[in-house]
């Protein structure tokens, strides 16, 4: 989409569709300017028609009407935002996503949207742009109907109508650019997750990492089985043993050009990348295996975030570490009862080959810690237990370092993603106790998400670390706001916000330069 900023009368905006987001109560006498002007053009009948259809501007409500030449646009779409007291940018992001989906159904190619008046115009702009881009996303490349419709109308031009009293400036232009970059990266990650497992193999995921790194000006290093063996990643090798697909070790790095910044402790991002998870010899039921192409959603989010981070150029290094493989049953597959030796030297008794993600992540986390990061954040579709606890839309967050945890939770809140901190208690540690090795890879059913987090904790030492279990929110079971059914790209926006926050904090650490002394003649004035 091409976005442009505008001020002035919304009724003069040309295009196929004029979108006016509204809060509850805005249909009354104190209607916001865009609605009041549009209603006047309709001779007072627009609000009456909307009310007659039951539109009260509640969240998820919408109302569409033809303008019959009374406005510059052919149609008006009124969007409900709900109560103003409950407003946050995510409300507008979801509403903008609904607007994009409505535009697709109406086959419009251009729209104008009146950005509502809020306390922060830049945040509202970001939410609007992200919502429109994310809401317009579709994954239909394998449908014959989509190929036939390839030349059909698509939403291409969007006029962003600024609230009354807000003027265009560089800050607002920057908000639009950031929103576009983030949304495009999320959609790129969604594509990776939605692709079938015969397309996105470990090799293809590694190629995608290289392509992303090249586009963002980053360095990508890809290793194969020999490199994994050289690094003595015994758990990673165990998981990949049953598949004919070559495993891949992926490292993408952003290093600041400034030598001083390049020496700062890096932020490490780790993504789970099981490109297909059959469960191995502990085979999953058939219906539980259908969506297991999505078991690499964590890596897709991490790689997508790196695309944006390359453009942000923070004053510290950022590294992405990924171990990509399949978990398949065969005559060479690892077995329940096997004992694997991790890169850290710990031995692990295998009690369930379907608890494979934590094994690969354990070796990758050890590798990441060797780069001496300030903080590690891992994203993983790790446990069904987390879905049982939090459902399909909330990410489970684990970690003992309060400072690292709260920085991630704050970033998630600013990004509009729903996270909830869960305990990581040693009370559950007995569940992983083994009679024959240092630990088991899977314990009892109860507290399954905590058990998995406790397993990962064994491989990070004293490094501040946050584990994000995205098993539920990595895909959406239905259309909702800017979500479609399928991959969501969850976590990517939070990682970008985390980097932005840390960059701001890093800049704050540097004392402002003292103003130069004014010349004597100037001082005399």
Catalytic residues: 284, 358
HEC string of 459-521 equals: CCCCCCEEEEECCCCCEECCCECCECCEECCCCHHHHHHHHHHHHHHHHHHCCCCCCCCCCHH
In the DSSP assignment, the letter for residue 78 is: E
In the DSSP assignment, the letter for residue 12 is: G
Strands 318-327 and 248-254: antiparallel
User: How distant is the alpha carbon of residue 163 from its chain centre?
Assistant: 28
Buried-state track 413-442, b at ≥16 Cβ within 10 A, e below 16: bbbbbebeebebeeebbebbebeebbbbbb
Q: Assess contact for 320 and 491: CB atoms under 8 A.
A: no
List the beta strands (DSSP E) in 23-166: 62-66, 73-80, 110-114, 157-161
Residue whose entry in the numeric block shows the structure tokens 């998870």:
277
Q: How many CB atoms lie within 10 A of CB 65?
A: 16
The helix (run of H) or strand (run of E) holding residue 230 is helix 225-230
- For residue 276, the number of C-alpha atoms closer than 13 Å in the C-beta half-sphere is 20
Beta bridge partners of 248: 324
Q: Assess contact for 67 and 86: CB atoms under 8 A.
A: no
Beta-carbon contacts of 462 under 8 Å, excluding residues fewer than 6 positions away, are none
Nearest Cα residue to 13 out of 80, 102, 113, 153: 113
Q: Phi then psi for 2, rounded to 5 degrees?
A: -105, 120
C-alpha triplet 350, 442, 429: angle, nearest 5°: 120
Q: Phi then psi for 114, rounded to 5 degrees?
A: -85, 105
Q: How many CB atoms lie within 10 A of CB 191?
A: 18
Strands 347-349 and 439-440: parallel
Residue 114, helix vs strand vs coil: strand
| Distance separating the N- and C-terminal Cα atoms of the chain | 53
Nearest Cα residue to 308 out of 184, 488, 175, 127: 184
Q: Assess contact for 424 and 405: CB atoms under 8 A.
A: no
What span, in angstroms and rounded, lies between the C-alpha atoms of 275 and 285?
18
Residue whose entry in the numeric block shows the structure tokens 């569409």:
64
What span, in angstroms and rounded, lies between the C-alpha atoms of 433 and 194?
37
In the DSSP assignment, the letter for residue 431 is: G
């Amino acid at each position: 989409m091409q976005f442009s900023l505008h001020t002035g009368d919304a009724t003069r905006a040309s295009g196929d569709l004029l979108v006016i987001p509204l809060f509850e109560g805005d249909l009354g006498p104190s209607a916001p300017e865009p609605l009041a002007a549009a209603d006047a053009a309709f001779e007072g009948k627009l609000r009456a028609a909307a009310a007659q259809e039951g539109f009260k501007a509640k969240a998820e409500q919408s109302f569409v009407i033809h303008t019959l030449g009374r406005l510059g646009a052919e149609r008006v779409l009124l969007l409900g935002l709900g109560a103003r007291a409950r407003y946050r940018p995510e409300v507008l992001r979801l509403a903008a996503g609904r607007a994009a989906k409505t535009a697709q159904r109406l086959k419009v190619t251009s729209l104008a949207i009146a950005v509502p008046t809020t306390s922060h115009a830049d945040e509202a702009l970001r939410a609007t742009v992200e919502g429109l881009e994310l809401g317009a996303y579709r994954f239909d490349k394998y449908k014959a109907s989509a190929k036939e419709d390839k030349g059909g109308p698509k939403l291409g031009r969007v006029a962003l109508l600024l609230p009354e009293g807000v003027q265009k400036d560089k800050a607002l232009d920057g908000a639009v650019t950031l929103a576009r970059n983030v949304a495009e990266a999320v959609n790129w990650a969604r594509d990776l997750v939605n692709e079938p497992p015969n397309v996105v193999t470990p090799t293809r995921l590694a190629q995608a990492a290289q392509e992303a790194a090249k586009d963002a000006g980053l360095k990508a290093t890809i290793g194969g089985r020999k490199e994994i063996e050289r690094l003595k990643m015994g758990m990673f090798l165990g998981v990949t043993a049953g598949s004919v697909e070559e495993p891949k070790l992926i490292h993408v790095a952003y290093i600041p050009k400034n030598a001083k910044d390049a020496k700062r402790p890096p932020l490490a991002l780790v993504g789970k990348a099981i490109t297909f998870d059959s469960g191995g010899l502990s085979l999953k039921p058939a219906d539980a295996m259908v969506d297991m192409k999505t078991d690499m959603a964590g890596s897709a989010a991490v790689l997508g975030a790196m695309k944006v981070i390359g453009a942000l150029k923070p004053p510290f290094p950022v590294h992405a570490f990924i171990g990509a493989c399949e978990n398949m049953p065969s005559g060479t597959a690892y077995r329940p009862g096997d004992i694997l030796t991790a890169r850290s030297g710990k031995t692990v008794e295998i009690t369930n080959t379907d608890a494979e993600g934590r094994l690969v992540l354990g070796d990758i986390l050890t590798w990441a810690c060797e780069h001496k990061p300030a903080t590690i954040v891992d994203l993983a579709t790790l446990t069904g237990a987390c879905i049982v606890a939090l459902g399909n839309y909330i990410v489970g967050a684990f970690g003992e370092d309060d400072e690292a945890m709260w920085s991630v939770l704050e970033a998630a809140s600013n990004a509009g993603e729903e996270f909830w901190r869960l305990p990581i208690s040693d009370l559950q540690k007995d569940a992983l106790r083994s009679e024959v090795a240092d630990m088991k890879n899977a314990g009892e059913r109860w507290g399954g998400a905590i058990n998995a987090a406790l397993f990962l904790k064994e491989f990070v030492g004293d490094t501040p670390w946050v584990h994000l279990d995205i098993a539920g929110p990595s895909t959406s079971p239905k259309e909702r706001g800017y979500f479609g059914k399928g991959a969501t790209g969850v976590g990517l926006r939070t990682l970008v916000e985390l980097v932005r926050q840390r960059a701001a904090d890093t800049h704050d650490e540097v004392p402002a330069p003292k103003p130069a002394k004014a010349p004597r003649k100037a001082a005399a004035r």
